[in-house]
Structure 1
Amino acid sequence: MDRSELLIQPSKPTLSSVWFPDIAAQNPTTQNPTEQNPTAGVAKELVHQVTAAEVVPTGWARTGEDRFTLTARLPHQYPFFAPAPGGGQLPLLLVEGMRQCVLLIAHVGYEVPLGQQFVLRELDFGCDPANLAAAVGTGQLTVEMVCSRIVRRAGRLTAIRSEMTVWHGDRFVGRSRGDITFISPAVYRRMRGERIGAARPVETELSSELFAGPVGLAPLGPRAWQLKMDTAHPALARRQDDHIPGMLLLAAAQQAAQQVAQLAAAPGVRPALPQGAFVPVAGDIAFDRYAEFDSPVEIEAGEPVRDAAGGSTVRITGRQDGAEVFRSTLVSAP
């Protein structure tokens, strides 16, 4: 996927209509939805979080058969994505928030039972970095969600596609599209076997100077790294994941893009990190298998491809035991 597929530039030289310019005509302040089943507050279990501080959605309402409006807030501090130079963590925080919105709607809108495993297959996203930065910690966001490609078996939801647009007042913040499947506890136990509940290796030394979260990169060679996990970090230690969370793989992909963007900007010279921050305004990621804690994950990144506007596109892959785990394309702002 090239940059033109990830970003469709509006007529004005801004990023205010990243990802399909026609969304500017879909501002929720012009809509008059019929609310059904509104909620006040969201239980952490419904978005698969351990603490209330990690919950991004704050409420939801059904506006059509497969349409929903949610409210959300993006905190200044989030365990997986601590503040980074240039605001590089903010797009990941937005993606995490939209991921939680899908989890919530699957449970409350489609009656997916608690205990089902959610498997993110593919994800595309885009954002307006200026509007996103202005929205963090400052108030309520509105999330418009449309669900499609709905698959049910024996009356239960087994797969869905969600498309979301996020607004801060009348300003476009971001958009995402994701494909998710759902696995019953019994099937998951058969799939994962002894890995469920297995002890995770303890590792606490990270090489990342860009992110204060639980993931970093250790150099292996030109544009290649080994993923390093701080399993003692509170964001991971209090969770019971039996595999590396996909959002941390996306964070590792961003760090790899950051590294190659710096090298391309000044070969042989390490620029100041804040000036070289790689802030993804669009991207995608697809997962082929689970990434395990007990085997090295190798991250590779291609050369950045610069465009006329000054942005960069970087392709990143992750492999474990010779098999591809994920592939991602990230696009930076000019």
Structure 2
Amino acid sequence: MTVTTDAAPPTEPPIQSLVRKAKSDEALVTDWRELPDLVQDVTAIWPQSHVFYTERDHYTPLIFTESLRQALALLSQRIHSIPLGHRLGWEEINSWILPSALDVQTSAKKVTLLVSHPSVTRRRMGSVYLVSRIDAVSDGRRIGGAEVRYSAHPPAIYDRLRGPYASAKEAFGKAIRLTAPVAPALVGRSDTRNVVLTPIDQPLSWQLRVDTTHCVLFDHPHDHVPGMVLLEAAAQAAQATTPTPVATTRFDTKFLRYVEFDQPCFVTAEPGPAQGVVQVTVTQADKPVFTTAVTTEPWPS
């Protein structure tokens, strides 16, 4: 005799777990669907007011970057079947956004991210290397885009890569003492808590200010300084090089090494190859760990 039972449907993880945020109100991505030709449509909602992603009457460029990060984290599990226990990491990100899209008053708040994946390489031990392309659309117009190269490692491989730094809890506990901020206005900020640069006695150079209690940048423990902190430092450094407020509209970035909490890290800015471009390099223990060309434009009048 065969006995059948009504099995309960599998439980869907909460969206903040899929986008790898601990707090539900930090999940910018709210939905997604599959389109033809292996393209995914991901919806992000940008809040009109936020303690970190809005600054007076405009969004900071990191809201777009965080939307990309969350979308790819979601799709890594839903499209590529990468377990949530795998550790994701950026290798390169080239992104751009229109300054007008960062206006809080006129932005549509709903942003559609059209994502494709021209390269997905799986290694024998479980690591995955991916390239994803994203077009951002809002109110029927293209407002931004990106190409991201990133990796996903299973816990055993990731822990071997990180060695003594593998534990997020221990890494947080070894973080150096929080350093003093530069004047917020110098870097386009109004709240000292959102400043990630500390003044040092060198022109166009700063120490990276890492506040592990920051409610957005660190809504859960990390084993290394996240890429979002480095990108924010680059945007603030670019703003510090000009006396007038500017919008960061493009990052062309390479993540070279993990950035540790237990050592000071330094940020240097220098003029780039074109008008409005600032080359930012981050070093730790005298080695480059991050480099990016930051493109800025005057805010639309």
TM-score, normalised to structure 2, is 0.83
Q: Which residue of 2 aligns with 1:245?
A: 226
Q: Is structure 2 residue 282 aligned with structure 1 residue 318?
A: yes
Alignment partners' CA distance in 2, 1:118 and 1:135: 34
Alpha carbons 1:254, 1:278 under 8 Å: kept? no
Q: Is structure 2 residue 215 aligned with structure 1 residue 234?
A: yes
Q: Is structure 2 residue 39 aligned with structure 1 residue 74?
A: no
Gaps of 5+ in 1: 1-39, 263-275
* Alignment length (residue pairs): 276
Q: Is structure 2 residue 245 aligned with structure 1 residue 277?
A: yes
Alpha carbons 2:127, 2:154 under 8 Å: kept? no
Q: Which of residues 243, 252, 255 in structure 2 aligns to 1:287?
A: 255
Q: How far off its partner does 1:65 sit?
A: 5.4
Q: How far off its partner does 1:185 sit?
A: 0.6
Alpha carbons 2:268, 2:282 under 8 Å: kept? yes
Alignment partners' CA distance in 2, 1:208 and 1:121: 31
Q: Which residue of 2 aligns with 1:84?
A: 55
Q: Which residue of 2 aligns with 1:47?
A: 19
Identity %: 26
Q: Which residue of 1 aligns with 2:197?
A: 216
CA offsets 1:245-268 (integer angstroms, 9 cap, x no match): 101101001111111123xxxxxx
Q: How far off its partner does 1:43 sit?
A: 1.3
Q: Which residue of 2 aligns with 1:300?
A: 268
RMSD: 2.4
Alpha carbons 1:160, 1:179 under 8 Å: kept? yes
Seen in structure 2, the aligned counterparts of structure 1 residues 227 and 126 have a Cα distance that, compared at 3 Å, is: same
SS at match of 1:319: strand
Alignment partners' CA distance in 2, 1:245 and 1:254: 15
Aligned positions of 1:1-334 closer than 5 A: 43-64=15-36, 66-78=38-50, 81-84=52-55, 87=58, 89-133=59-103, 138-154=108-124, 158-195=128-165, 196=167, 197-198=169-170, 199=173, 200-203=175-178, 205-209=180-184, 210-211=188-189, 212=191, 213=194, 215-236=196-217, 238-262=219-243, 276-303=244-271, 307=275, 312-334=276-298
Seen in structure 2, the aligned counterparts of structure 1 residues 192 and 306 have a Cα distance that, compared at 3 Å, is: closer
Which deviates the most, 204-213 or 107-116?
204-213
CA offsets 1:176-228 (integer angstroms, 9 cap, x no match): 11001111111111222332121133426322403342623323311111111
Seen in structure 2, the aligned counterparts of structure 1 residues 232 and 202 have a Cα distance that, compared at 3 Å, is: farther
Seen in structure 2, the aligned counterparts of structure 1 residues 305 and 260 have a Cα distance that, compared at 3 Å, is: farther
CA offsets 1:276-297 (integer angstroms, 9 cap, x no match): 2231112211111011111111
Gaps of 5+ in 2: 1-11
Alpha carbons 1:123, 1:286 under 8 Å: kept? yes
Alignment partners' CA distance in 1, 2:109 and 2:54: 18
Alpha carbons 2:48, 2:109 under 8 Å: kept? no
For 2:182, the aligned partner's letter is: S
Alignment partners' CA distance in 1, 2:201 and 2:53: 25
CA offsets 1:94-140 (integer angstroms, 9 cap, x no match): 11101110111111111100111111000001111113325887442
For 2:16, the aligned partner's letter is: K
Alignment partners' CA distance in 2, 1:183 and 1:116: 5
Which deviates the most, 322-331 or 69-78?
69-78
Alignment partners' CA distance in 1, 2:274 and 2:57: 19
SS at match of 2:160: helix
TM-score, normalised to structure 1, is 0.76
Alignment partners' CA distance in 2, 1:317 and 1:297: 11
CA offsets 1:146-200 (integer angstroms, 9 cap, x no match): 1111102349560111111111121222111100111111111122233212113
Alpha carbons 1:214, 1:236 under 8 Å: kept? no
Alignment partners' CA distance in 2, 1:95 and 1:108: 20
Alpha carbons 1:214, 1:231 under 8 Å: kept? no
For 1:146, the aligned partner's letter is: S
SS at match of 2:207: strand
Q: Which one has a larger percent helix, Structure 1 or Structure 2? A: 1
SS at match of 1:220: coil
